[in-house]
A and B are shown apart, each in its own frame.
Chain A
Amino acid sequence: MSGFNKVVASYEEAMSGLEDNMTIIAGGFGLCGIPEGLIAQIKSMGTKGLTIASNNCGVDDFGLGLLLPGRQIKKMIASYVGENAEFERQLMSGELEVELTPQGTLAEKMRAGGAGIPAFFTATGVGTLVAEGKEERNINGRDYILEESLIGDFAIVKAWKADRYGNLVFRHTARNFNPMAATAGKITVVEVEEIVEPGELDPNEIHTPGIYVNRLIKGNFEKRIEQRTVRSA
Chain B
Amino acid sequence: MQRDRRTRVAPDRSRPSVELRPATEEERLWRLEAELAHAQRLIGDLRDRDALKTQFLSNIAHDLRTPLTAIITHAEILRDGLLGNINGKQHESISTIITGGRQLLDTIAEILLYAKGSSEPLTLTESEFSFAEIVDQVSQLNESLVAKKELAFERRLPPDLPRVAGDRDKIMHVVMNLIGNALEFTPAGGTVWIAAECVAGQEPTPSLLVEVGDTGRGIAPDHHELIFREFAQVDASASRVHHGTGLGLTIARRFVELHGGRIWVESDLGKGSRFFFTIPLRYVEA
**Do A and B belong to a common assembly?**
no
Measured CB to CB, the residues of A under 8 A from B are none
Measured CB to CB, the residues of B under 8 A from A are none
